[in-house]
Structure 1
Amino acid sequence: MKISIIGGGITGLSTALALHKVGIQAKVYERAETLNEIGAGIWLQPNAVQILQWLGILDDIIQEGHQLNKMEITNPDLTPIKKIDEVVVSDVYGNQTIAIHRGKLQRILFEKCAELELVELGMPYQHHQSADGKTTVYFKDHSIETDVVLGADGIHSLVRKAMGLPSEYRKTGQICSRGIANVTLPDHLKYEGKEMWGKQQRFGFSQIAPDLVYFFTVVNEEKSPSTVSRETLTSLFADFDATVTDLLNASDQIHTTELADLKRLDTWHNSNTCLIGDAAHATTPNMGQGACQGIEDAYYLSRFLKSKGTALEAFIAFEKQRRKKVDYVVNNSWNFGKLVHNQAGQLLLRGVMKITPEKVLRKQMKSLYSVEGL
């Protein structure tokens, strides 16, 4: 079986490694000529950590990243809304969140794939079509024959378009800015991820390397400045803890976008093509699970392609396995983002957080972090 993966992001590269792990050869086709360390930070939660360990690259990620012992939601002055025990944000094996530069994570995945000859750069996908039991994938300058196409080309997936599936995006009306600050946090913040809640605005941050801090802001569109810059954000978050101003002043480039997700698709697959990651179920980042769910897709799909008789049987089993959890993440992330940026909604969330017992939180996290078979 020849498998072609379209898209060399975190999901596509993880899928190639997962397939190689179970003895199935696949190749990733990425449009970029080179992979540079672009983007900001990412929080790899314990479910993703388990799979990265299974892939044999966790040590490299730990070396390049930074382990967080606590994830906490706070007021603008950094006082926690609810103090929680560290075990609430770890899985049953003690795995905790690893913060890392997104570009470094992608580089680790890419270098492992390149070492195994699983990736080809400079291959801009155009479309694909099937006839007589074979599928032809058309790139900008040439084409290839394949048996299976896996679409890992993100929220604006061209593979999804070629499959004739809808691409309806839900815009949140919230503007998100992400950046990297060249600083080291004080000791009491160095191993913690923070998200600070203000009125229709949020600021989150964590160390991702000894001298790098990842931060993000989320602001309702009507409150966002027409031109987002370090100076406008500093003004907007002037009432927050001084750490915010320090991080903004130490930042270089800031990347800004409107948060959106993908409206639920009725299916992710047809007989020889399957969507994975953001191409299938793009989510807003409010639960920090976007990339983690793409990595989970890689793990489960590789298992089903190994164990089932045909690709179609594998796709059906994969979608059945993944739907409930993915829907939970997408829907809860959407609702959480909407509530926290609404005055009454945020008051409700704060109240629920304060009265929810830790054993309930542990149960919720155990379900979110569980990976069958690991």
Structure 2
Amino acid sequence: MNIDIIGAGIGGLTTAIALQQKGVKVRIYEQTDELKPVGAGILLANNAMQVYQKMGLKPQIEKFGNPISLVNITTKDLTVLSSADLKHFETRYNCQNVAIHRATLQRILTEHMQPNTLNLGYKLAEIETYDNKNLLRFENGEEITSRITLGADGLNSTVRKQVFPNTKIRTAHQICWRGMVNISLPQKFQKELNEAWGNGDRFGFVQIAPGKVYWYALKSFNKQNNAYSIERLSNYFSNYNEVIKNIIHQTPTETIHTATIEDLKSIKSWFKGNVCLLGDAAHATTPNMGQGACQAIEDAYILGECLDKFTIETAFSTFQKLRTPKVKKVVNTSWQIGKMAHWKNPIATGLRNQVIKMAPKHMGRKQSEKIFELETV
């Protein structure tokens, strides 16, 4: 079996390793000329780390990342409203939650792939299906005949547009800035992720290595006005805690990445013939649960198991059947969290904070249990 993967994001790279470990020949085609660490940092939750444990990558990822045992929702002054203690799941699954530089994770993954797997500078232009095969045409003029094609090319997937042209992307009307900064956090913040909620904005930060912090900031905009300036970022969050203001101040402006928050409206099918989508190409989510890359990593593992055990059509249908309930829950819950986090009315946000503070801890644990448990093929 030969399989071609379009897209060398975390999902595509993980899928390639999962398949190669089962003896499958894999080629990856990536549109960029180099793998750039857009987004800078990533939190690998327990479910993702379970996959990497099964693949033998856990020790190396833990070595180069920073273990995170608490995830806090706070007010603007970093007063904790809700705290998810992850130690229970660390013991249960023998896996920590790890914050790591995206470039470091990419390096680890590429080092575990077989030589000559990755082909850079291949932007897909068109897929033509004939005789149960796919002709892949790339913008660099190359043409490849593919027996099985997997689309791991993200929210704006060319594969999805070719196979399912009527899918829709929805916007949350939020702008997101992401950055990395060399800074020493107070010790109490070094093993936890904190996300501070304000009025129509929020700010999250986590240490990914000694003296290195990944952060993200979000602010709502309306259809008429989305003109926010990176140069004014400090002003937008001037009423937040000094730790947060210092993080922004110490980050070089030219290194900050800006994007709008979007997800993919649910699609009926992830596959057609011998073409299958995975990760954001199939079920892109807003980043409010830290599960976007994690769900792509789960896809990689489950799809690898299905292709190892079943014929192509059965593998794809089983893969989607197993994965759909969880990813739908993640997409919908994440969307709702993002909206609630950006309430602007002071009365509403005050009530929201009180409800979060009073919520029983077992509710959060129950939700985490459902997210962290892997499907069985």
Cα deviation for residue 323 of structure 1 reads: 0.5
Letter in 1 for 2:68: L
Quick one: distance in 1 between partners of 2:286 and 2:37? 22
Instruction: Say which of 362, 366, 374 aligns to 2:365.
Output: 362
TM-score (norm. length: structure 2):
0.93
CA contact (8 A) 2:84 2:364 kept: no
Q: SS where residue 165 of structure 1 aligns?
A: coil
Q: SS where residue 272 of structure 2 aligns?
A: coil
Instruction: Say which of 303, 306, 320 aligns to 1:304.
Output: 306
Give the aligned partner of residue 52 of structure 1: 52
Give the aligned partner of residue 163 of structure 1: 163
Deviates more, 1:147-156 or 1:51-60: 51-60
Give the aligned partner of residue 269 of structure 1: 271
Give the aligned partner of residue 326 of structure 2: 325
Closer, same or farther: CA 172–36 of 1 in aligned 2, 3 Å: closer
Q: SS where residue 156 of structure 1 aligns?
A: coil
Give the aligned partner of residue 341 of structure 1: 342
Closer, same or farther: CA 150–193 of 1 in aligned 2, 3 Å: same
Cα deviation for residue 177 of structure 1 reads: 0.7
Q: SS where residue 149 of structure 1 aligns?
A: strand
Closer, same or farther: CA 225–152 of 1 in aligned 2, 3 Å: closer
Give the aligned partner of residue 211 of structure 2: 211
Residues 82-138 of structure 1 show CA distances to partners (whole Å, capped at 9, x for unaligned) of: 35544367472242321111222122212322x443222222211111112222111
Quick one: distance in 2 between partners of 1:244 and 1:63? 27
Quick one: distance in 2 between partners of 1:96 and 1:167? 36
Letter in 1 for 2:289: M
Q: SS where residue 260 of structure 1 aligns?
A: strand
Equivalent residues in 2 for 1:76-91, closer than 5 Å? 76-87=76-87, 90=90
Cα deviation for residue 258 of structure 1 reads: 1.2
Quick one: distance in 2 between partners of 1:224 and 1:100? 34
Cα deviation for residue 167 of structure 1 reads: 3.1
Letter in 1 for 2:314: E
Quick one: distance in 2 between partners of 1:277 and 1:149? 14
Give the aligned partner of residue 315 of structure 1: 316
Q: SS where residue 189 of structure 2 aligns?
A: coil
Give the aligned partner of residue 75 of structure 1: 75
TM-score (norm. length: structure 1):
0.93
Cα deviation for residue 353 of structure 1 reads: 2.7
CA contact (8 A) 2:67 2:96 kept: yes
Give the aligned partner of residue 246 of structure 2: 246
Residues 212-271 of structure 1 show CA distances to partners (whole Å, capped at 9, x for unaligned) of: 101111111159883422x41111111111001111111121111110101111111011
Give the aligned partner of residue 133 of structure 1: 132
Residues 258-292 of structure 1 show CA distances to partners (whole Å, capped at 9, x for unaligned) of: 10101111111011100101111111000110000
CA contact (8 A) 2:68 2:99 kept: yes
Letter in 1 for 2:200: Q
Quick one: distance in 1 between partners of 2:373 and 2:186? 33
Deviates more, 1:10-19 or 1:115-124: 115-124
Root mean square deviation, CA, Å: 2.0
Give the aligned partner of residue 28 of structure 1: 28
Give the aligned partner of residue 294 of structure 1: 296
Q: SS where residue 52 of structure 1 aligns?
A: helix
Question: Following TM superposition, where does structure 1 have runs of at least 4 consecutive aligned residues deviating by more than 4 angstroms?
Answer: 88-91, 222-225, 344-349
Residues 346-367 of structure 1 show CA distances to partners (whole Å, capped at 9, x for unaligned) of: 4554344333322232222111
Q: Could you list the runs of 5+ residues in structure 1 that have no partner in the other structure?
A: none
Letter in 2 for 1:288: G
CA contact (8 A) 1:339 1:345 kept: no
Deviates more, 1:205-214 or 1:348-357: 348-357
Give the aligned partner of residue 117 of structure 1: 116
Q: SS where residue 78 of structure 1 aligns?
A: coil
Cα deviation for residue 58 of structure 1 reads: 1.9
Closer, same or farther: CA 369–303 of 1 in aligned 2, 3 Å: same
Letter in 2 for 1:320: K
Residues 149-208 of structure 1 show CA distances to partners (whole Å, capped at 9, x for unaligned) of: 100011111101111332311111111111111112121111111000111110100111
Give the aligned partner of residue 232 of structure 1: 232
Question: Between Structure 1 and Structure 2, how many residues are aligned?
Answer: 371
Instruction: Say which of 346, 370, 374 aligns to 1:371.
Output: 374
